[in-house]
């Protein structure tokens, strides 16, 4: 393999050298021709600037031919070697700049450029994005004024003749599974046909309601321009012969695959702290746009800190009722999250929603209701699991508070459950709504890929640890490990998490088993009450994808988060069994994790996203629980959507298993931009198992 790569690299370098030599030779030839013209001009004119006689002109021509034919003679001489070298250096510098531009466009601009593309390809790609038509010979003109091309252009008849050829190719009837649409003019209308998707125009172009209904490309300035017709069966001819676009990249056909519902997560601040719906008119417009492309529904966080903000058991659902009614009228579905954590300070948080005020007052007098690290720092993001059965919240335990909140929600919105509008309730079980310890708080100094710290030092969890140690007969084990480093440490820097470290000793196994069992017990207790409150409805729990340090023996980052999953133990099968016990679905919030292997930061952190995804999904499939998912990273391009599709609908699963639904994070103005929304519409169609045409966007 290395020998082949060397040959390939050598061949490329030889090609570059040959091209540089050709450029230098062309410059020499140009100098040669200029020299000839200069000599001829001087010899054809006399000293006084008067044209000589005819016989004298004949003599001059003979002298000129002798000078030109004599190597190194006459006024023209070969260029110095130093100047040729300088020309080569300038050419190499130009090529290096071009290579960087091309690399940036491929990586960030989603331009489909060939490997040995030059600056002409770059200019052509940018021109096409701005709405211009670029012919193979380089002729460029606005797509609206095709008749204004140069009259003498040899390819002027290409478009008209090709259009005739295309019209002849369009079949009179639709083929089975894939229909063909035809638009006679250069603008094409939205065509929704059975089995085939073609993008709709204006509904999602929120910023230009008065624009033409024709679908086209949008330049940087937002000006809409028409494009050539996109016709099934003729796409290749248009792309390659008329516009000169590169051939399409191969991608999997999801036509006929199982229907996977697609939901869109609404903005975090869609309901304000007074439980009022923010910008209902704007939201209604966006919901109608989502409905127009057959999105199945939306997901919304119901924040504990908003609904029960001022006093215990005083619930205000006004803003959510107005929102739910709006969704119901549009015949969309709802996925609802019972969010018992605060919002703000985590990745993607653009609003601040604290825990209820009355809970904060209790915390000021009794800070042990919050998770605590070894240094005594409190994490107010959610309540400690140590008070799940402790009556420290105005006479109620933490799980009683959660149950009262869920029961109030069920009573308030019972008609939405009965009508099937609410399709799933996801129960928040920890920070970010995920079943995990808050082991990696940025506000306490954690930075990726740090291992995090254990969060078990409030008095209630320490009391639980003491009880477990005494039952084991080793009361001196009633302590947290002291050789675990800090939040941003790496496993090999600690005595506990390093290879053959204390994590695998007698005390380490005892502590990690107790620490992880507390997590499972919390999920078991809260989900049992959720099942009671939402009887007959689907409930779900969310798990994080902690993939860094997965290739080490200890899996340190998972251990501090509560997942006892070292290399010699499966830490997810017990969690899957707990979910199966309550009929709860698993929301594994990393739909595209397994495709991140090549990222340099993941390699340095000995991460293994693909291995983690396989292990978690395998535990879920083995226990026969439903799996749903959402994206972990912002996605607006086709490459990212294809990765999600491959994970949601795995092609090689022998049992044909797939995710039951997918939630897109999240509804933003960037998603509603025309180009991005066209890709999202196409993604929804493929999730639904419909055939789509290949469109270069």
Write a three-state SS string for 352-408. Answer: CECCCHHHHHHHHHCHHHEEECCCCCEEEEEECHHHCCCCCECCECHHHHHHHHHHH
Cis check: omega of the bond before 326, within 30 degrees of 0 = no
Query: Quick count: other Cβ atoms within 10 Å of Cβ 618?
Result: 14
* CA contacts within 13 A on the Cβ side of 359: 26
Are 660 and 258 spatial neighbours (Cβ–Cβ below 8 Å)? no
Q: CA–CA separation, 42 vs 64, rounded Å?
A: 11
Opening angle at CA 410, ends 407 and 416, nearest 5: 175
Q: What is the DSSP string of 257-276?
A: SPP--EEEEPPTTSB-TTS-
Nearest to 504 by CA among 516, 492, 514, 496: 496
Helices (H), 413-505: 414-418, 459-472
Q: Which of 226, 434, 558, 592 is catalytic?
A: 434
- For the chain, the straight-line distance linking the first and the last C-alpha, in angstroms and rounded, comes to 36
Give the number of other Cβ atoms within 10 Å of residue 286's Cβ.
Answer: 22
Q: Which of 305, 553, 325, 297 has its CA nearest to residue 405?
A: 305
HSE-up of residue 547 (Cα within 13 Å, Cβ side)? 27
Pair type for strands 216-218 and 370-372? unpaired
The whole-angstrom separation of Cα 134 and Cα 125 is: 9
Give which of 163, 182, 184, 165 is closest to 174, Cα–Cα.
182
CA distance 317 to 311: 14
The CB density around residue 337, as the number of other CB atoms within 10 Å, is 21
Please report which helix (H) or strand (E) contains residue 120, including its range.
helix 119-129
Q: From the candidates 91, 453, 630, 681, which is the catalytic residue? A: 630
Which residue spans within 520-674 are E strands per DSSP?
539-543, 585-588, 627-630, 662-664
CA atoms within 13 A on the CB side of 123: 9
172 bridge partner residues? none
Is 630 an active-site residue?
A: yes
Residue 661: helix, strand or coil by DSSP?
coil
Provide the 10 A C-beta neighbour count for residue 185: 9
Active-site positions read: 434, 630
């Amino acid at each position: 393999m290395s020998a082949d790569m060397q040959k390939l690299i050598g061949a490329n370098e030889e090609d570059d050298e040959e091209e540089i030599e050709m450029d230098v030779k062309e410059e020499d030839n140009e100098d040669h021709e200029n020299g000839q013209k200069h000599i001829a001009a001087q010899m054809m004119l006399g000293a006084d600037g008067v044209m000589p006689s005819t016989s004298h002109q004949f003599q001059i021509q003979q002298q000129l031919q002798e000078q030109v034919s004599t190597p190194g003679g006459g006024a023209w001489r070969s260029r110095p070697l130093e100047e040729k070298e300088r020309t080569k250096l300038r050419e190499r510098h130009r090529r290096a700049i071009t290579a960087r531009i091309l690399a940036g466009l491929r990586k960030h601009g989603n331009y489909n450029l060939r490997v040995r593309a030059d600056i002409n390809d770059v200019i052509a790609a940018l021109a096409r994005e701005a709405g211009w038509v670029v012919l193979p010979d380089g002729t460029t003109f606005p797509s609206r004024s095709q008749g204004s091309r140069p009259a003498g252009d040899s390819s002027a008849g290409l478009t008209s003749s090709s259009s005739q050829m295309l019209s002849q190719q369009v079949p009179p009837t639709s083929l089975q599974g894939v229909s063909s649409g035809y638009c006679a003019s250069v603008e094409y209308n939205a065509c929704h046909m059975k089995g085939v998707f073609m993008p709709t125009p204006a509904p999602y172009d929120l910023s230009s309601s008065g624009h033409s209904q024709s679908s086209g490309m949008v330049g940087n300035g937002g000006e809409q321009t028409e494009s050539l017709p996109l016709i099934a069966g003729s796409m290749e001819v248009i792309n390659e012969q008329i516009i000169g676009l590169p051939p399409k990249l191969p991608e999997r056909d999801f036509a006929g695959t199982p229907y996977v519902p697609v939901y869109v997560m609404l903005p975090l601040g869609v309901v304000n702290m007074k439980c009022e719906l923010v910008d209902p008119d704007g939201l209604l417009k966006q919901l109608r746009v989502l409905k127009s492309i057959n999105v199945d529904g939306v997901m919304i966080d119901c924040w504990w800190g908003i609904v029960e903000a001022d006093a215990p058991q005083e619930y205000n659902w006004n803003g959510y009722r107005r929102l739910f009614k709006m969704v119901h009228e549009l015949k969309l579905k709802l996925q609802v999250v019972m969010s018992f954590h605060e919002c703000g300070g985590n990745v993607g948080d653009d609003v601040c929603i604290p825990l209820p005020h009355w809970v904060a007052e209790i915390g000021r007098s009794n800070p042990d209701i919050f998770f605590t690290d070894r240094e005594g720092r409190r994490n107010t993001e959610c309540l400690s699991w140590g008070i799940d059965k402790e009556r420290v919240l105005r006479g109620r335990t933490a799980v009683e508070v959660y149950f009262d909140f869920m029961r109030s929600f069920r009573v308030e919105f019972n008609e939405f459950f009965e009508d099937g509008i609410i399709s799933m309730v996801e129960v928040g079980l920890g920070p970010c709504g995920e079943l995990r310890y808050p082991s990696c708080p940025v506000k306490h100094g954690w930075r990726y890929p740090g291992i995090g710290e254990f969060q078990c030092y409030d008095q209630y969890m320490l009391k639980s640890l003491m009880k477990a140690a005494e039952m084991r007969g080793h009361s001196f084990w009633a302590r947290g490990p002291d050789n675990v480093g800090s939040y941003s440490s790496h496993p090999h820097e600690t005595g506990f998490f390093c290879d053959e470290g204390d994590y695998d000793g007698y005390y380490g196994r005892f502590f990690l088993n107790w620490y992880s069992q507390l997590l499972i017990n919390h999920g078991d207790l809260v989900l049992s009450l959720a099942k009671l409150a939402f009887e007959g409805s689907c409930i779900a729990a969310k798990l994080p994808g902690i993939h860094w340090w997965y290739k080490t023996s200890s899996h340190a980052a998972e251990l501090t988060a509560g997942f006892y999953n070292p290399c010699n133990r499966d830490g997810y099968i017990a969690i899957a069994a707990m979910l199966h016990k309550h009929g709860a679905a698993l929301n594994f919030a990393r739909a595209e994790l397994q495709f991140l292997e090549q990222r340099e930061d993941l390699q340095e952190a000995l991460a293994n996203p693909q291995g983690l995804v396989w292990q978690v999904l395998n535990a879920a499939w083995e226990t026969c629980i439903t799996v749903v998912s959402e994206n972990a990273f912002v996605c607006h391009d086709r490459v990212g959507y294809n990765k999600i599709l491959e994970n949601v609908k795995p092609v090689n699963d022998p049992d044909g298993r797939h995710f039951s639904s997918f939630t897109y994070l999240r509804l933003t103005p960037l998603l509603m931009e025309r180009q991005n929304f066209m890709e999202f519409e196409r993604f929804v169609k493929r999730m639904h198992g419909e055939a789509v045409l290949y469109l270069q966007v």
